Amino acid sequence: MAIRPILVAPDPVLKQKSLPVEGPVTDAHRRLMDDMLETMYDAPGIGLAAIQIGEPLRIIVMDLAREGDPPEPRYFVNPEILESTETTLPYEEGCLSVPEVFEEVQRPDKVRLRYLDYNGKPVEEEASGLYAVCIQHEMDHLEGVLFIDRISRLKRENAMRKLKKARKEAAL
Ligand code: GNR
Ligand code: NI
């Protein structure tokens, strides 16, 4: 297992669309998922898409367990949203690729999803609450979309200014 560097906006790689895993889920995919989980725990974050470590594959890891509770790693290969509610809820989101920016985003409050798990087994389930927020945030990454693309232009421009300033200071 290895902790890998997390890409930060405006890195153009984060705008790439990720490709489906073709064929079975292999040990190489599981090694990538292991690295992603370790990278996510180290950050720390509650979810991570493969593109955030530069791998343009439709793979996501997540752990929504509270601090102090036993870990609950979740793995998603080729996730698809089958159905979303019309009703939306706001949630203050952050992103490891958009450090120090937190803004409210409106998303459907419940989604039905299908994916392959760590062992390549197909799963279908419903997500609500933080699970629904996080899976939709992560699936946006697979399309090259960041949560700041879903906020007002003024807020996004402020966020980008903050990111560029932080990057400039880090480079000094
Ligand atoms: O760690 C994360 N926290 C978070 C909080 C609210 C909504 C979404 C997230 S996902 C984020 C990790 C991340 O950037 N995943 O892509
Ligand atoms: Ni993110």
Q: How does pLDDT run across 14-57, given as a tens digit for each residue? A: 999 999 999 999 999 999 999 999 999 999 999 999 999 999 99
Mean pLDDT for all residues in the chain: 97
Tell me, what's the pLDDT at 168?
87
Is 103 one of the catalytic residues?
no
Closest CA to 165 of 6, 51, 10: 10
pLDDT at residue 115, rounded to an integer:
98
Residue 168 parent element (H or E): helix 153-171
Q: Which CATH architecture group holds 12-171?
A: Alpha-Beta Complex (3.90)
pLDDT band at 1 (very low <50, low <70, confident <90, very high): confident
Compute the radius of gyration of the chain from its Cα atoms.
16
With bands split at pLDDT 50, 70 and 90, how would you rate the model's confidence at 166? confident
- Residues above pLDDT 90, as percent of the chain: 92
Closest by CA to 16, choosing from 169, 140, 150, is: 140
Core vs surface per residue 9-38: b (16+ CB within 10 A) or e: beeeebeeebeebeeebeeebeebbbbbbb
88 touches 109 (CB < 8 A): yes
pLDDT of 44 reads 97
Identify which ligand lies nearest to the alpha carbon of 41. Answer: 1
Catalytic residue among 125, 126, 138, 143: 138
> What count of Cα atoms within 13 Å lies in the side-chain half-sphere of residue 39?
24
Question: Measured in angstroms, how far is the CA atom of residue 120 from the centroid of ligand 1?
Answer: 24
The amino acid at residue 73 is P
Question: Which stretches within 91-152 are classed as H helix?
Answer: 129-142
Q: What does the alpha-carbon distance between residue 59 and residue 31 come to, in Å, rounded to a whole number?
A: 12
Atom index in ligand 1 nearest the CA of residue 97 equals: 14
Minimum-distance ligand 1 atom for the alpha carbon of 138: 16
Q: Given this model, what pLDDT does residue 167 score?
A: 85
Reported as a pLDDT band with limits 50, 70 and 90, residue 59 is very high
Q: Quick one: pLDDT band at residue 170, thresholds 50, 70, 90?
A: confident
pLDDT band per the 50, 70, 90 thresholds, residue 171: confident
- Residue to substitute in 134, 141, 143 for testing ligand 1 pocket (most ligand atoms within 8 angstroms of CB): 134
Ligand 1 pocket at CB < 6 A: 45-49, 52, 93-97, 133-134, 137-138, 141
For residue 57, give Cα distances in angstroms to 19, 70, 165. 5, 28, 30
